[in-house]
Structure formats: structure tokens, C-alpha cells
Structure 1
Amino acid sequence: MTGAGGWGTRRHGTTLALLACLALAACGRSDEPTPPLPPSASTEAAPDASPDAPPDTSPDPAPPERRPAPVRIAVAGDVHFEGVLAPRLRRPATALTGAASELAAADVAIVNLETSVGTGGAPEPGKRFTFSAGAAAFTALAAAGVDVASMANNHALDFGRSRLPSTLRAARRAAAADPPLAVIGIGADADDAFAPALTDVEGTTVATIAASAADQDPTADPTASWVAGPARSGVAGALDPGRLLREVRLADRSADVVVVHLHWGVQGQRCPSDDQRVMARRLVGAGADVVVGSHAHELQGDGRLGPGYVAYGLGNFAWYSPGPTGVLTLTVRPPREPAGRARVTASRWWPATIGADGLAALDTGPAAAASRDRRVALRECAGLG
């Protein structure tokens, strides 16, 4: 789909501020006569500057090299609009009020949208849980400051492939809206589904790729058949990671920062599985600077893995079940030379708890301290630095 991978631009005031300063400097000049220059500042030629001397052809000194500014990337967990959250889509502009400011403060904010979106279709037979939302779900995410939403998960086609055309149309409209939302990990074919979202942050390109590596039992869950193919719609699948690794290498050649969002792991587990650990190492080796994930519906550890940064599981974020959650904001320094790599230089955890209303609310006092302690324990469990 044309809306799945595209440019989403954050506007910054640096250039406008500079132009304003120049304008003020020009407007502030006085009409009074300019006082005479002192002898040391005379415009007369210096004694050794003969009129017959050849012109100075030495090159001007090179301007100092401009280093790209750090990029702030915020990631949060699973979002759907079921149960108590469903009525909130009647007013999508305020549907996720509460955590919106934390997401909007980042240059790029990414979540997993764990629901089918659109109209038509019917619940997939054999599925215990089927989630559904209208196109207002995309509007609600964009209004909350989300720039990129992954739909590479085991609920994106809960209402079958017959709903998918309406999903893709809504995603194209979301990408063209103001503010825009890039929907990734789903498409009319595999090329569409794997297409990255490209976000320009003051000249730094952030590429975000999404895929699902959630191992579903085909005898109990139909989602194993949802994977997109060369001529088949669906989600980007990574149980065989070959295509995903190729896309990461390709993105690494042109983008400054590469983020991979994976649906993976074992539901209910707080420590990453062996499969997650192996996949994370392979992705970082292929050029991923940040690897984040969801699917366990539990928070899992985050930290450094070689030159990359991994957050194995971000849990739920807007969900009908109360529990711990948060927003992880990473400060990423873009590469300083063409062959270099981006690097996460700082991480910040916004500790929160999902309440009875399904929304994340900031923890304070003992609850915030408990959230920080939990994060330390999960990092040790994940074996991350």
C-alpha cells in the first residue's frame, strides 16, 4: 500500500528562528550617520597591498562540519479499542489523553496497534479473541502523537482478508492526514507489508520496519496463514527471518537510524525466549540500531546489545486489562560518518499503570519506585547491559 511506507515530517523551529533573528537585526539598524572608523579599521589598503599585486586565490577555510542532532524515539506497547476503550473512539482527538504528551514530545513515536481496522468482514472462526475498530483508531493514534503504528501482529486480520482492502484505504488516508500516521507491517503483498516508514527529523532519516514472529499453533489459531506473499495480502511475517534481515540491511544503507518492531515471544512471559535473543542478535548484526517488541502482554527487559539497543517487550499500553506499563524514550545519536552506526546514548522510562479506564496514567511515589525496580530486574533477566 502506498501509505505504509512514506515520509512523516516533524516540524521544527530552528530555521524559522534563525530567519527571524536576521530580520530583527536588519530592522533594528539606526538611521543616524555611521561614526568614522578608527585608524586601525581604515578601509585604505595596507602598505604591502600594491594595486598591481595579484588577487588572493587561496581557498576560503572550510566551514565547520555540522553534526546531526540526536533523535528522540518513543516506543510503547499494545493498543486496541476494546471494552471500556471502545466508546473513546467517538472522540478520537482525545481518545488516548493522558500519555499523549509523552509520545508527542518525541521526534518519532511508535506503538503496536493490536486490532483489525476498517469495515466489513466477519470474526475469524476458531479465534478466542477477535478485536475490531473503525478507521477512527488511526486518527486517535495520530492525535496522541504517534507517528508509526505496526499492524504486524496476530489480530490485524481478526475479521478476515475481506476487511483488509478497507484497512489499507484507511491507512493511506492516515498517511496523508495532518498529523500523519504511517501504518506498517501490513499490505497488499509482501513488498507492501515490509515497506519501512521513513521519518525525516531535521535531515536525519529514521526507518521503521515491522514484522510478526509470533509462533501460532495453526490447529488452534489461523494467524499462521495471514502472512503476506508475492501476490497475497497480509502481514509481514518473520518466522523465517530471511526477508526481514534483507530489509534491515537495505534500510541500513540509506537511513541514518533503523528501528525494527517485532511481534514475538511467549505470551505471559517476562523473560525473553531463546528465539527472541537469537533474533535480536541477528537483527543488530544486520544493521538494526533499535529493536523493540510486543506480544507477551508483559513488560520485558530493555538495554544494550552490542552496538544496538533492544526492548524485548513493551507490554500493553491502551488495553482493557489493568497493569503496569510505560513509555520508553531513547535518545539516538545519528552516525557521524557514512560508514558509521547510530547509537543510543540515553534511555528514559515513563512509568505508568493502566487503570480501569484502559488508559496509562503516570506513576508517582512508591508506584514509580516499584516500576524502576521492576525495570532493573527485567533487564537482568534479559541479559542486557
Structure 2
Amino acid sequence: GDITDALYDIGFRVFSLSNNHSYDKGAAGIDASREHWAAMPDDVVSMGFYNLETYDDYVYQTVNGITFGYLSYTEHTNGLPTPSSATYGVVYLSDLDIIEQQIAAMRPNCDVLVVSCHWGVEGSHDVADSQRQMAQWLADHDVDLIIGTHPHVTQTAEWLTGAEGHTSFVAYSLGNFLNAQSSPDNMIGAVLDITFQKTTQSDGSSAVEMQDPKLHCVISQYEDGWKNIREYPYSAYTDELGAAHGNFTLTREYIESVLYGSIDEQFVALD
């Protein structure tokens, strides 16, 4: 609760709840999570736990005249099955029939459809074939923006063209944000920045174009004993900070090598 309050205070308003730890505390944990998010301020939206009978928990948010729809899926839940007493649960990325049903229901009601995918191999900068295949399947079903999490390290991003010519953008893994893991690459994350431009025609029809996606580098920092955990934009990070890291030295040269080695350079932003 304290973490979500802090995230709210610095501007976060959209939260994806579907991940490999969603079932760690069983049905009671699912219920407690849903109650927590329901009590957040009205401008917060969250998604990732769905009614297991209807799957029609559709989440929308309108910002500056553009309506966004959000869906959230996970590749696995660490081997834990959906709790037998649960009435809400996650949708797995393998549940294509359910995902197709949800997309079909939401697509007419939003300008931009965003899907969060918790997928990939932890610690790997390489995009797995299963990620690429799923991203293309989502593009073929007219999803606009695909945001990947789970590997804990950065992976590349790219434009995709769907089966009917729809344009989609996928960031396969943003890496970590604030964290206290034990590898240098875990400290290097990215914040996706993308502009949505809506154009309305005289006949009332409209279209939204996604423009200039960038992955802005952020660095986590902590001291011996995992103390004073904090986050820096790359522009404020120094080699002196890197030398003072709790477990290893993390230089700007190494950070740049990781970013340009894992992300298409046209999308990397170091400002």
C-alpha cells in the first residue's frame, strides 16, 4: 500500500496487476489486491484480474480527448494454478480465445488499445520467439501499444504491421524501475515516452497516430546493505555514483553498452 501511494504521488495513474506473482497469496491475496485498487483515487485505473466467468472487466481512461483501453496478461504464474475458490484471476497469454474476445469487445470503444504482457526470460536481453509471435498476433488483432515486462533487463522495441495494415508499437521489456536486485544489468531500466496525436475529420471520424517513441534510460542505485534505494535519470547519473553502488561498479560506459546492445538505437534516449 505504501508503495502504491508513493507511485500515485509522483504521477502514476495506470497499473497492470497481471504477473508471475499474481497468485502468490491465493484467492485471499487476489481479493485483497482488488479491494486495495478499488479504494484508490478515482483517477487511477488498474487491470489484470478478470471475472473468471465473463472476462468482461473492461477498463478505459480518457486523457486530453483520447480514450485509452487497457488489458493485462501474463505468460505464467510460477506454476501456481488459479486458486479453486477464486472468482477473479489472470488471463494467460496462451488463452487466445479469451484475449480475442476481450479485444473485440474493447476495440470499438477506444482510440488506443494498450496491452501489458508479462513475458520473456528473466535476465535475458534477447527477445524470445514466443514474445515476437505474440506481439505480431496482437498487432494482427489491431492492438496499438504493447508494453512488455518480466525479464528485469532491457529488450528492444519495434514497429509492427498487422495483417490488415494496422500499425502497432511494441517495447518487449522496459527492464526494471526502482529495484534492489544484484546484477548491474538489473539496475538499467527504461521509461517509454510516446506521443498520441488525434485527428478528427469533418465527418466526425477520427484517427490516432503514435509518434516518436523513445525509451528514456533510468538507473537504480543503492548502497551496502540495500540501503537508500533510489532512482536516477541517466542524465543525473555519474561514475562516482556507480563506484559507490552496494554490490558492484556501474559506469556510464557500461550502461550505454547495455542499452545500445539491447535496444534499437533509434529508440534509445539518454537525456
- Give the TM-score normalised by the residue count of structure 1: 0.55
What is the rounded CA distance, in whole Å, between the counterparts of 1:375 and 1:316 in structure 2? 13
What is the rounded CA distance, in whole Å, between the counterparts of 2:58 and 2:7 in structure 1? 18
CA shift, 1:340, in A, is: 6.6
What is the rounded CA distance, in whole Å, between the counterparts of 1:137 and 1:254 in structure 2? 32
CA shift, 1:187, in A, is: 4.0
Of the three residues 196, 203, 210, the one matched with 2:72 is 210
SS in 2 for 1:317: coil
What is the rounded CA distance, in whole Å, between the counterparts of 2:193 and 2:103 in structure 1? 22
In structure 2, the residue matched to 1:159 is 25
TM alignment of 1:62-77, pairs within 5 A: none
2:152 matched to 1:297? yes
Deviations 1:189-216 (A, max 9, x none): 3646x634311112210111111123x6
Of the three residues 96, 105, 116, the one matched with 1:250 is 105
Q: Which runs of 5+ in 2 are unaligned?
A: 162-166, 223-227, 239-250, 266-271
What is the rounded CA distance, in whole Å, between the counterparts of 1:190 and 1:274 in structure 2? 31
Distance 1:171 1:370, change over 3 A: same
In structure 2, the residue matched to 1:317 is 177
What is the rounded CA distance, in whole Å, between the counterparts of 1:143 and 1:352 in structure 2? 19
What is the rounded CA distance, in whole Å, between the counterparts of 2:60 and 2:6 in structure 1? 21
In structure 1, the residue matched to 2:234 is 363
Deviations 1:52-76 (A, max 9, x none): xxxxxxxxxxxxxxxxxxxxxxxxx
What is the rounded CA distance, in whole Å, between the counterparts of 2:37 and 2:59 in structure 1? 12
What is the rounded CA distance, in whole Å, between the counterparts of 2:83 and 2:46 in structure 1? 16
CA shift, 1:181, in A, is: 2.0
CA shift, 1:312, in A, is: 0.4
In structure 2, the residue matched to 1:198 is 60
| Larger proportion of strand | 2
What is the rounded CA distance, in whole Å, between the counterparts of 1:150 and 1:369 in structure 2? 33
2:27 touches 2:83 (CA, 8 Å); kept in 1? no
- How many residues end up aligned between the 2 structures? 236
SS in 2 for 1:226: coil
RMSD: 2.9
What is the rounded CA distance, in whole Å, between the counterparts of 2:4 and 2:177 in structure 1? 15
2:262 matched to 1:378? yes
CA shift, 1:324, in A, is: 0.5
- Give the TM-score normalised by the residue count of structure 2: 0.76
CA shift, 1:299, in A, is: 0.7
1:157 touches 1:164 (CA, 8 Å); kept in 2? yes
What is the rounded CA distance, in whole Å, between the counterparts of 1:228 and 1:335 in structure 2? 47
Q: Percent identity?
A: 21
What is the rounded CA distance, in whole Å, between the counterparts of 1:326 and 1:368 in structure 2? 15
In structure 1, the residue matched to 2:125 is 270
In structure 2, the residue matched to 1:241 is 96
1:302 touches 1:378 (CA, 8 Å); kept in 2? no
In structure 2, the residue matched to 1:23 is none
Deviations 1:230-287 (A, max 9, x none): x732222222222113322322211001111011111121111111111101111111
What is the rounded CA distance, in whole Å, between the counterparts of 2:207 and 2:137 in structure 1? 16
In structure 1, the residue matched to 2:115 is 260
In structure 2, the residue matched to 1:329 is 193
What is the rounded CA distance, in whole Å, between the counterparts of 1:259 and 1:352 in structure 2? 22
SS in 1 for 2:210: strand
Q: Which runs of 5+ in 1 are unaligned?
A: 1-134
1:227 touches 1:237 (CA, 8 Å); kept in 2? no
2:177 touches 2:218 (CA, 8 Å); kept in 1? no
TM alignment of 1:213-232, pairs within 5 A: 213-214=75-76, 221-223=78-80, 225-226=81-82, 232=87
TM alignment of 1:39-50, pairs within 5 A: none
Higher Cα Rg, which structure = 1
What is the rounded CA distance, in whole Å, between the counterparts of 2:95 and 2:177 in structure 1? 28
In structure 2, the residue matched to 1:51 is none
SS in 2 for 1:222: coil
Of the three residues 27, 35, 49, the one matched with 1:186 is 49
Q: Higher relative contact order at CA 8 Å, sep ≥6: structure 1 or structure 2?
A: 1
1:213 touches 1:262 (CA, 8 Å); kept in 2? yes
What is the rounded CA distance, in whole Å, between the counterparts of 2:83 and 2:253 in structure 1? 41
Amino acid aligned to 1:226: T
Deviations 1:175-197 (A, max 9, x none): xx26x3222101453646x6343
